[in-house]
Chains A and B, each alone.
Chain A
Amino acid sequence: MQLRNAYDFLYEDPQKAISLANAIIRKTENHDEIITGYVIIINAYSSLNQSDNALRYAFKALDMVQSEKDIISKVRILGLIGEQFQVCHFNDESRFYLDQAQSIISDLRISPDQKRIYSGNIDAIKGNSYKDDLDCNFAIDYYNKAIKDYLRVKNNSSATNNLCLVYIEKSECLIEQSSLDSASIYIAKAQKIADRYDLKGYKLKARYTEAKNLSKRQNYKESNALLLSVLHNIGKLQDLHFRQDIEELLVHNYFHLNDFPNYRIYSKFLKKSRSLLESAHSRSNDKGLYFILKNTETTEFIPYLFLISAVFSMLILVFVLVKRKDQFGTISSL
């Protein structure tokens, strides 16, 4: 029940979700509840653009699942680490963890549908990492794999939600490649899911992508109308990146519409958003580097052999010396 509460606050009030999840972790001794608590915290910090904190908790959770040999949660956490590194734009590092997660999925004793969801999630994040590297051909390959997996899963809200998001990401790549009609098809698919399940955040993202498509078709006015409605509905959503993308497209559209007053307004907003986002990225990257370097530490660093032989030798020496002292001590006492 408390976990449900924390989940509900995840996107509305991430800070509250974090304190609720922390309280659960402190109170409970149930392993699954602790892991779920960590997952909430990781996602909450991520939506606060604090990937460094998200990574800190993700590595805590990873240590825990590794010590408990909980392979199923391990896949989940590795996926989250991959996602957080991707958010920090450390795409090589992201793929390193995602590959690790992928390599153990086949060994999991879970239902085929669950496997498809995990696999789909990993491919979706990999797609994002290639999209971030502006390698849309690769990205689309991974998005297609993810879509294939999600579509085979029946009656699972997680798979449907993620499918919606992958449709949006894929359509953005298609716009980048100027395949505007194909992009429209995937945007429509995403909008259909978002409307059916009332996924507020995804509805807004789908509308933004539609606006991007319209802008690319030089339909700047319609594009702006959509963007302004999205901006109006963002409300408390603290996704700086999304806000910056909207403002950037508005500036672009107003420039082409030769609308100087609006151009000035949104270019000011854009400059501010960029500055905020850049400092957030910079901070996350700075802290994130620590987690990358953590991965380079060799676990065999302690010279076990040396320690064992030293202790072993000392024990023998002490034993021999005590024995001898005993022998001579008695004789000398005569």
Chain B
Amino acid sequence: MDINSNFFSKFYLICCFFYFFQVVNSQTKEEKLGIEHEAKRLFRTDVKKSIKLYEYLLENTEETDLLHYRINMVRLKLMNSENIEAIDLMFDLQKDLSTTKDRHLQRQFYQLEAEVFKYFGFTTESGRIQKPEDFKNQNENSKSQNTLFNIADELQINPDANVASPQIKDIEKIEVKLNQNIAIFTKARYLAQLRQYYLLKKDEKKYMIYDKQLLDLQGLHLYQIKIARNYLASKFSELKQEQNETVSKRIKTWSLAFSFIFIGITGAIVYYPKDDKTALKKKNQVISDKAELKILERLQDFENSQKYLDESISITILAKKLDTNVKYLSAVLNNQKQKSFNQYINELRIHYITERLKSDKKFRGYKISYLATACGFTSHSSFTSSFKSIVGITASAYINKLNEEDGLKK
């Protein structure tokens, strides 16, 4: 029983908490909507109050609505001629928006950015910012409840523009409002109305007063625009420089990585065949299996004919004699005999002379140079060096050794 009552009391408490949370939450939402509605209503008549209300919303809002309020805050700051603050806010907003995936908010921001650039006279950049797809949605956006107002429509001071003259009953009210803390664009509208009224009334003095005030206001506005243009251009160029540097860094990193990959692949391709002599052999065998056999047979004939004793024999001549070409003969010698052409010929010649020295004692009494010529060597030195490298001892030592052996036998 106790357990059940405990469970129900806890369940009841949790339900109460959720109910309370929902009520508070919906109240807060309603309250915020009310505040925003009031802020929007006031932006023409009391922009400073409107800014304060938006500041309150910004302080007491979750992340999602925050960006939307900040977009409107940029517009309000412009309305209040706080151009530098508006530009700063816009660039901060751009950084924060780069992480959001909310396309609607992004579109709103692009529209704001394009409007701001256009307002300060950078029409080319404005057109570049406003993407074609956004143009399609421009009407939809400007009508959207989330957009406070269109900058180009609201922020104008044109002393040449004709405005409708107000009713006499409104004149006093307008003159009172002029002395209040109002935005210069609102003030410009009131001044133009009053000027028109006094022009129709042919009150030259009053006309001049309001016209001069309007001209001064335009002068102030143009000066503020000039300063803001310089600031916007500087900020924008800083941002572009940062972006370019980031892209440049990224490209450099990728470039470095790709360079290593390229060099690695090239290195692998260049070094791969070195370790793969068998691949070359296989290729030779596959291509010249029959031809190789033929050449081997012809080589055997060549060896038997002792034509290697010919001093003028070279790989080219031999290849011709064997009815093949140099590279293939070289490949066959390499693969089948594991020798170069010179090694092969020298071995045949040295083998011939050693046999002759063994079988014919007369030869043992000849000079080394004669022996060299007899077996096809053109130089004495190449014969001696070849003899030593093939037999292991010099020719004269070999002859002595043969003589000694024969002496022992006797």
Contacts and interface: CB of A to CB of B under 8 A. Distances in A.
B331 interface: yes
A334 B325 contact: yes
A313 B262 contact: yes
A274 interface: yes
Contacts of A92: 230, 233-234
Nearest to B244: A298
A303 B255 contact: yes
A274 B218 contact: yes
Nearest to B211: A267
B259 interface: yes
A261 B341 CA distance: 117
Nearest to A89: B226
Contact of B230 (A89, A290, A293, A296): A89
B270 interface: yes
A331 interface: yes
B252 A303 contact: yes
Contacts of B321: none
A96 to B, nearest CB: 9
Nearest to A261: B204
A248 interface: yes
What does DSSP make chain B's interface, helix, strand, loop or mixed? helix
B208 A260 contact: yes
Contacts of A303: 251-252, 254-255
A288 B120 CA distance: 13
Interface residues of A, number: 54
B327 to A, nearest CB: 5
Contact of B270 (A258, A289, A308, A320): A320
Given A263-B208, A309-B263, A289 B234 contact: no
Nearest to A259: B208
Contact of B160 (A275, A301, A324): A275
Interface of B: 120-125, 159-160, 204-205, 207-208, 211-212, 215, 218-219, 222-223, 226-227, 229-230, 233-234, 236-237, 240-241, 244-245, 247-248, 251-252, 254-256, 258-259, 262-263, 265-266, 269-270, 273, 283-284, 287-288, 291, 324-325, 327-328, 331
Interface of A: 89-93, 132-134, 248, 251, 255, 258, 260, 263, 267, 270-271, 274-275, 278, 281-282, 285-290, 292-293, 295-298, 300-301, 303, 305-306, 308-310, 312-313, 316-317, 320, 324, 327-328, 330-332, 334
